[in-house]
Structure 1
Amino acid sequence: MKKKLVILSGAGMSAESGIKTFRDSDGLWEGHNVMDVATPEGWHRNTELVLDFYNQRRRQLLEVQPNLGHLTLAEMEDDFEINIVTQNVDDLHERAGSTNVLHLHGELLKVRSTKNATAIQDWTGDLVLGDLDVKGNQLRPHIVWFGEEVPALEQAMDLVEQADYVVVIGTSMQVYPAAALIDFAKKDCLLFYIDPKPASIPNLRNKLELITMSASEGVQFLKERLTAIS
Structure 2
Amino acid sequence: MFEAIKEQIKDIQKIVFVTGAGISQESGIPTFRGKDGLWKNYDVMKLATIEAFYDNPKLVWEWYNERRKNIFAAEPNQGHKAISELEKYADVVVLTQNIDGLHQRAGSTKVLELHGSIVKIKCTVCDYEDEIRTEISNAPPLCKCGNILRPDVVWFGEPLSQNVWQKSIVLAGQCDLMVIAGTSLVVSPANTLPIYAKQNNAILIEVNPADTPMSPEMDMVVRDSSANVLPNFTSMFREN
CA–CA separation in structure 2 for the residues paired with 1:197 and 1:35? 21
Give yes or no for the alignment of 1:199 onto 2:209: no
Contact 1:36 1:43 (C-alpha < 8 Å) held by counterparts: no
Please, which of 120, 133, 142 is the counterpart of residue 152 of structure 2? 142
Q: Indicate which of 53, 57, 65 corresponds to 1:47.
A: 57
SS at match of 2:73: coil
Q: Which amino acid aligns with 2:99?
A: V
The two structures, once aligned, show a CA RMSD in angstroms of 2.2
Picking from 79, 90, 95, the partner of 2:89 is 79
Unpaired segments ≥5 residues, structure 2: 1-10
Tell me if the contact between 1:6 and 1:166 (Cα under 8 Å) persists in the aligned partners: yes
Between the aligned partners of 2:93 and 2:117, the Cα distance in structure 1 is 17
> d(CA) in 1 for partners of 2:148 and 2:226?
38
Offset of residue 130 of structure 1 = 5.8
Task: Give the partner amino acid of 1:181.
Answer: L
Q: In structure 1, the residue corresponding to 2:210 is in which secondary structure?
A: coil
CA apart distance, 1:97: 0.6
CA contact (8 A) 1:212 1:218 kept: no
Deviations 1:43-93 (A, max 9, x none): 011111100000011011111111011111111110011110100110111
C-alpha contact (below 8 Å) 1:131/1:139 kept by paired residues: yes
Aligned 8 A contact 2:16 2:177 in 1: yes
Alpha-carbon displacement from aligned partner over 1:189-214 (angstroms, at most 9, x marks no partner): 1011011223231784xx52112221
Corresponding position of 2:107: 97
Distance change in 2, residues 1:24/1:217 (3 Å): closer
Matching of residues 1-230 of structure 1 within 5 Å: 3-25=13-35, 29-31=38-40, 32-116=42-126, 119-127=128-136, 128-129=138-139, 131-151=141-161, 152-185=164-197, 186-201=199-214, 204=217, 208-225=219-236
Asked whether the 8 Å contact 1:55–1:125 carries over to 2, the reply is no
Letter in 1 for 2:231: Q
Aligned-residue sequence identity (percent) comes to 34
Structure 1's 163 and 220: CA in aligned 2 closer, same or farther, altered over 3 A?
same
Cα displacement (A) at 1:126: 2.7
Q: TM-score, structure 2 length as denominator?
A: 0.86
- Partner SS, residue 68 of structure 2: helix
Structure 2 CA distance for partners of 1:47 and 1:94, relative to 1, 3 Å: same
Amino acid at match of 2:145: K
Larger deviation, residues 134-143 vs 15-24? 134-143
- TM superposition outliers: structure 1 runs of 4+ over 4 Å: 225-228
Judged with a 3 Å threshold, the aligned counterparts in structure 2 of structure 1 residues 141 and 73 are, in CA distance, closer, same or farther, namely same
**Alpha carbons of structure 1 residues 134 and 11: separation in structure 2 relative to 1, 3 Å:** same
Count of aligned pairs: 225
Contact 1:2 1:81 in 2 (8 A): no
Q: Distance in 1 between matches of 2:109 and 2:80?
A: 12
Partners of 1:129 and 1:138 within 8 A in 2? no
State the secondary structure of the residue aligned to 2:173. Answer: helix
Cα deviation for residue 225 of structure 1 reads 4.5
Residue pair 2:96, 2:111 contacting (<8 A) in 1 also: yes
C-alpha distance in 1 between matches for 2:216 and 2:209: 21
- Which residues of structure 1 form unaligned runs of 5+? none
* Greater percentage in helix: 2
